Structures are given as C-alpha cells and as structure tokens.
Structure 1
Amino acid sequence: MSVRKREWTNAKGEAKEAWVVDYVDGSGTRRLKTFKRKKDADNFAASAHVEVREGVHVADSASVTVREAGKLWLAGARAAGLERTTVAQYEQHLKFHILDHLGDKKLTALNAPAVSAFRDTLRDEVLVPKGRRKAKRSPAMIRKVMSSLGSLLADAQERGLVGRNAVRDMRGARKQGKDRRLEKRQKGKLVVGVDIPLPHEVKAMVGKLDGTWRPLLLIAIFTGLRASELRGLKWEDVDFEKRVIHVRQRADRFNDIGRPKSATSERGVPMPPLVLNTLREWKLACPKKATGKADAHGNPVKVLDLVFPNGNGNVESHANIINRGLHPVQVAAGVTVDSGQVEEDGTPVMVAKYTGLHSLRHFYASWCINRREDGGLGLPPKSVQDRLGHSSIVMTMDTYGHLFPNGNDDTGLAEAEMALLG
C-alpha cells in the first residue's frame, strides 16, 4: 500500500495535484483512491490497511448507495417471510426518515461520525406531516429508525457491500456503563394514573360498559390480552368449563390472522367470574361467523368464528375498538382530561384520559401484582410474566418491577419481629 503525489496540467494550463492511495484489497484486486489532501490520503491508507488485514474492507466501487441497499434489504425481508407489519414498518422508516438524508450516500461513507450526525438530524428536524401540526420525532421513533438502519447495514454486510456496520459499532460503545443507565433513566417508569388507569377509574369504566364493547373491554381489563390477540380470538379458544382463554393466534394491523407475537405469547389466561358470565351472554348475541360465500373477486371467504368480529363476521379494526369503544366509555365514566379546546359556550372539551388499549393491559399487570389486601391478586413475578405472555422475566421486571411490594411496610416488620421474639 502506497501514498503518492500526482501532478498534471488541465486543459486551461493550470497546474493540479492530488494524492493517490494505491493498494490491493482482500480479494487481490488493485484499488486506487484519490484525495485532495495528503492528510486524508494517509488516514484512509491507515484504516484501509487494518480493514484489509481483518478481511472487512470494501472498496467504494464495490459498494452501493443506501437507496440501492435498501431495496435489497426489503426484498430479503420479504423473502425471509417476515411479518407483513414488520416489512411495512421497514418501508416507512426507509421512505420517510432514511432516504431523504442518506439515500445517495455510498455505504462505505457511513462511518460512526456520519451515522451520529444522521441521528442528530433525526432529533433536531421539524416535520410537517400533511394535514397535521409541526412536530419533532419522538425518542422512540428515532430509536426505531436507527435500528432499521442498523438492520439495513447488517444485510449489506452479509452481501459484501460494506465492511463495517457503523450503527452497531456506535451503539455498542454508546450503551456501556453510564450511557446505558442514562438511557434507562430517561425512558422512565410507567406511572399509575398517567400510563396505568387507577382502580377507581377502571371501576367507573366497568360501570358504563354496555352493548358490543362491554365483553371486549372487560376481557382487556381482566385478562390483559393484547389488542391483536383480542381481535384474533376464536370461540374454540374460550374454555368455559376450565374458565380459561387460550391465546393461539392474533390479527395484525392488516387484519391478517397469524401466530402470536412469540412462543411465550401462546398461553392460557384464567377468566374471573364477571368475564366468564359476560362471554356466555355474548356468545348468544355475537354476530354470526362469516358465511363462507365468495368475495368480490370470486374467492371463498374463510370462516373465522371470531369472538369479536365486525358486522360481516371478519376481523374488527383496531381503530373502531379505540374510537367507538375505549374512548367513549372513558368520557361517559368521567375518566377524562382537558383537551385545551372549548365549546361555543366556553365549556372545556374533555377527552379520554387513556388513548390506547395497552393502558388496560398495564392495569391488568398492576392488578396481578398488587397485594390482596389492596384489591389485587398478589402474584409473584414469574406468574405475572406467564399471564402477560412476555418473552422473558427481564421484560416483566423492567416494565413492572417498580410496582411489586418492596417488603418494607411497618406491619410486616412488626409481625416478623413478634414471630421471632414471641
């Protein structure tokens, strides 16, 4: 590997010079790379020498742009059979966040400083979505986009289009020690009354439940099933004799029925008496399953036999559950917050306090954790993990660990003292 100076005269008679790095890559191919400054040529030569020795060097001419690599990445994701929702999320991250800033860059130009600058741009950029107010990306969205970029580079690395994955390298260094603890602290804990409905709020909501949404929201409150699991629940998976709901499938955002989120998501969740009796009544009033007639294209409609179908016997949309079920019942129960808007007569417009169905899953988790004397079930962490279908006990404790009793109450200490000393 050598660095040499090149001098020439252009068509206008002007003297020009540049610095050329002449080297042989790992495949034995001779490569030339030109720089305006000797300093840049020396830096490249030093890094290229190490990369060639480690077998990870990819020349610019052998690489592709982020845009081209993105097409290969998405095609590979589809071929690998990833869920449709996952591929759709990848497409959104690529189209709306990555390509505008990095689309025309060569993969070999994505070093740690370039990726760090891209992350800063994601954080500082003000977006103006069509028909919506100006806003910045949330920290959660930035993490997801960076994760997708890392996945794209990993795919390109496997194809030999780039030597290093700058996102993974940067992430590994950033999440050590103090930075890891800082990120965890900034994420914050779930707060009762903010993220998790209070017991009296749930009681008020249950008192206002009626009609179609009563059985669905009762199950959400007292079994903790995910929205996708509720939408995909079949009658054959409701065991009235053993009082257990078996989670064996779910419906994704495209209303396609498939396996649950993970192996541990397949589980049995016991039903309390209120849910059991409500489901028995609902089974008599539930819209009948799809008839099996042909659709508009002449294809037979699959019989779904869902517990909570829409009017046609097919999968109910998530938006309907939120907008026609969860939000109205909160308003009726007085579980609301001020929207910041007012009616014509000056009356504040109150809206639902909890925006997503996952808040009811959080409540179920807290209900499982709370002591019996406080109106809960008092279950140990492993049982809570099993009922929620978490992939690991670490996930359960990271999310809900602060809700478990710490054993420092005075009553318990006094009882232990008396038992020991008599």
Structure 2
Amino acid sequence: MSVRKRTWTGHGVQKEAWIVTYFDTKGVKRQKTFAKKRDADTFASKTDVEVREGIHIADRDSITVKQAGKLWITTGEGEGLERSTIEQRKRHLKFHIEDFIGDKLVSKMTVPLIREFEDQLREAGRSPAMVKKVLVSLGGILGDAVERGLAMRNSVRDMRQRRNGKEKRQEKRQKGKLKVGVHIPTPAEIRTILPTLEGHWRPLLITDIFSGMRSSELRGLRWVDVDLEGRAINVCQRADEYGKIGRPKSEAGERTIPIPPIVVNTLREWRLVCPRRDTGKVDDAGNPIMELHYVFPNGKGNLESHANIVNRALKPALVKAGVSIDTGKVDKDGNPIMRAKYTGLHSLRHFYASWCINRKADGGLELPVKSVQERLGHSSIQMTLDTYGHLFPRGDDADELAAAERSLLG
C-alpha cells in the first residue's frame, strides 16, 4: 500500500493529485486517485484493513444497488419463487430502494449507510412495518451480491444479528397477543354466524370455520382431495393471488385435517350443485365436457379470488349475523351503516386454532400443542406456541389453586 503525490502542468497551470497504489485480495494491482492527501490517506488506511481481512472489493469490480437488485430478482425467478414474491421484490426495489440508494455501490453499503437509509425511509413516510420489509429485501440484494463476488459483506445481516433480540421484543410488544373477541371470533359469535350462512358461500365458510385452512388452500382445494367417507380433507396444493397452483407454503402445509359431521354433510350437499369447469373437450354430440374440479370455484368452475371471498362472503355474513361494528354513519334511509367486526378470513383460522386448544368442558377439542401444529400446517411447533401459546389452558387457575391449598393446609 503506497500513497504518492503526482504533479503536472496543464495549460500553464501546475496541478497535483494523490495516488494510492495497492494489491487487492486477488493480487491484482489497483490504483485510485484523490485530489486531497487527507482523502487518499483515509482510503489507504481503510483499504489496507479490508484487504488484510479479505473483504475488499474494488469499485470497478462492484455494481450499484439498482443493478444488484435486478440480479436478485433474476435469481428469484431462476429459483422458481412464486409470482407474488417476485412482484414484491420488484415493488420494493422500484418504490423504496432505487430512489434512495440505487446509485450506491453494493461494496460500499456499510452499516452507517444502511442506518441512514432507514432514517430516509422513515422521513419519507414509510411505516415501521414497511421499513422492516424493505430492509429484508435489501439484505437479500446484498446477500445475492456477496454470492456473486460483487460484495464481501452483507451489512444488513450484520446489523440485524445485533438487533435481532431487541427487534423481536419490540415487535411482540407492538403486536400484542391475539385476543378472543378482538382478533378471534368467540364461540358465541360462531354460533350466531352459522345459522345465517346461505347460498354458495355457505359451504366455504363452514369448511373454513371447522378446518382452519388458509385462503390459498381453500381456493386450491380439489374434490379429489376431499374424503367424505373418511371425514377428512387432504391439503396438497394452494392457489396464489395470481391464480397459480403450487405446493403448500411449507412441507408441514401438506397435511390431513379431520372434519366434523357439519362439514361432511354440507360438502356432500354442495357437491351435487357445485359448478363444473369446462375441460375444453366435447362429447360425441358436440357438447362441452364439464368436470367437477375445485371445491369452492367461481360460477364457471374456475378458481375463486381471495377478494371475492372476503368482500362477498365473509364481511356480508358477519354483518348479517350482527357480528359487526357501527361505523357512525347512516344510509339514505337513516339506518346505521355497520361493518364486519372481523375483516380478514384469517380470523376464522384463528377461531379454529382456539377451538382445537379450548378445554372439552368449554366446547373445545383440548388437543395437545403438537396436534394443533399439525392441523394448522405450521412449519414448527414454536410458531404455534408463539401465536397461540397464551390460549392453552393453564394449570394454575383459581379453582385448582384453591384445591391445592386445601390439600396442603387441610
């Protein structure tokens, strides 16, 4: 590593510059020019440490964050990621990364620069949740660049490793625990909802209430995966938001869910009138050949959309059953306008989880946590405990404490 001064005369004016000469981690001789000696010395000191630690990448061997982001998207496409995931990567890159740090070299993305990027996102009005998601994407971009030899360090990963415990604690405090009657329908509310369900949405909502299937799993469910005689549903595939059929979210997502008589009887009746889809073939008389395929299709027998299920099935059903909240507004006839108390289909999945967990004396199944994990298709038992652990019956409630006291003290 050397720093030397170079002087020359141009147009009758004496000029000078400072040149840093060094060998990079590959043994290639490099030079970089600076107008001031102070800048040259700073670069030389920093580069000397990076070369010795094996983390130096010359500027000409690196690329910008924008370019690296496009390579990261290409990597995802090559890995066969779902379209929704690829689209999210593109949105994060275009709307949240490029305008702020798109022209920065990935080899120069240090922890201080990333902290500054975080501040810029917040000042620009991004929510804490969005900032976190964008940082995850930036970490993916830098990780891909490291694998391609375009950067030697993923500073997002380094930063998040130091923050990990603190972030998890903050996230838990912000989200809080799922509460029955707030995030999870109560058993009384479910009893109120069931008699009001009607039409072609009835079998879907009843199945969701008593199976806890994800929306994507319900939409992709085929009749061949429903065993009415064995009273079970085999989850083998799911439909993403773009209508593409694929495997469940994880290996644990492929599962068999026992279903109670109300679901069996409802599906048996529904099968008789369920819309069939056009196979694209015709019979000998020239009539189109139709087939039963999806269990909860649209009117043409094809995939139903998630938005339709939420907006045309769930919300109207809740309002009709009185499981609703007054918006404070009135319609043209002066009647109060109500909105659904629970706005997402996942609330029914939460109910199913609570039903599996609740004591039999309280109308639940009282299943052990491992069985709950398997029925929900969680990838780990820790995920089940983190989400629903507080709902499991405690062994130290007031009645049991009183009994223990009497036994101890006589």
Aligned-partner Cα distance in 2 for 1:302–1:76:
40
Aligned-partner Cα distance in 2 for 1:95–1:23:
37
Aligned mate of 1:256, from 214, 235, 244: 244
Does 2:393 align with 1:405? yes
> Cα distance, 1:417 vs. partner?
6.2
Residue type matched to 1:114 in 2?
A: L
TM-score, scaled to structure 2 = 0.90
> Cα distance, 1:363 vs. partner?
1.1
Aligned-partner Cα distance in 2 for 1:10–1:207:
91
> Cα distance, 1:124 vs. partner?
3.0
Aligned with 1:322: secondary structure? Answer: helix
Does 2:6 align with 1:3? no
Kept in 2: contact 1:292–1:303 (CA 8 A):
no
Residue type matched to 2:136 in 1?
A: S
Q: How many residues align?
A: 405
Mapping of 1:321-400 within 5 angstroms?
Answer: 321-339=309-327, 341-344=329-332, 347-400=335-388
Bigger drift between 167-176 and 48-57 goes to 48-57
Residue type matched to 1:327 in 2?
A: K
Matching residue of 1:240: 228
Aligned-partner Cα distance in 2 for 1:27–1:302:
65
Matching residue of 1:28: 27
> Cα distance, 1:114 vs. partner?
1.2
Gaps of 5+ in 2: 283-287
Aligned mate of 1:140, from 129, 146, 153: 129
Shift in CA distance, 54/343, structure 1 to aligned 2, threshold 3 Å? same
Aligned with 2:300: secondary structure? Answer: coil
Shift in CA distance, 304/40, structure 1 to aligned 2, threshold 3 Å? farther
What fraction of aligned residue pairs are identical, expressed as a percent?
Answer: 60
Residue type matched to 1:98 in 2?
A: I
Shift in CA distance, 53/410, structure 1 to aligned 2, threshold 3 Å? same
Shift in CA distance, 242/52, structure 1 to aligned 2, threshold 3 Å? same
Residue type matched to 1:356 in 2?
A: G
Deviations 1:43-75 (A, max 9, x none): 433332232223221111111111111221111
Residue type matched to 2:145 in 1?
A: A
Aligned-partner Cα distance in 2 for 1:230–1:279:
13
Aligned with 2:162: secondary structure? Answer: helix
Shift in CA distance, 180/322, structure 1 to aligned 2, threshold 3 Å? closer
Matching residue of 2:140: 151
Aligned with 1:196: secondary structure? Answer: coil
Gaps of 5+ in 1: 127-136, 295-299
Matching residue of 2:261: 273
Aligned with 1:33: secondary structure? Answer: strand
Residue type matched to 1:22 in 2?
A: T
Aligned with 2:22: secondary structure? Answer: strand
Kept in 1: contact 2:294–2:302 (CA 8 A):
yes
Aligned-partner Cα distance in 1 for 2:363–2:129:
34
Aligned-partner Cα distance in 2 for 1:40–1:117:
22
Matching residue of 1:58: 57
Shift in CA distance, 372/53, structure 1 to aligned 2, threshold 3 Å? same
Residue type matched to 1:352 in 2?
A: A
Shift in CA distance, 112/304, structure 1 to aligned 2, threshold 3 Å? farther
Aligned-partner Cα distance in 2 for 1:260–1:122:
34
Mapping of 1:181-330 within 5 angstroms?
Answer: 181-293=169-281, 305-330=293-318
Kept in 1: contact 2:73–2:86 (CA 8 A):
yes
Mapping of 1:60-79 within 5 angstroms?
Answer: 60-79=59-78
Kept in 1: contact 2:223–2:292 (CA 8 A):
no
Shift in CA distance, 353/34, structure 1 to aligned 2, threshold 3 Å? farther
Matching residue of 1:172: 161
Aligned with 2:32: secondary structure? Answer: strand
Bigger drift between 313-322 and 349-358 goes to 349-358
CA RMSD of aligned residues (A): 2.6
Aligned with 2:210: secondary structure? Answer: helix
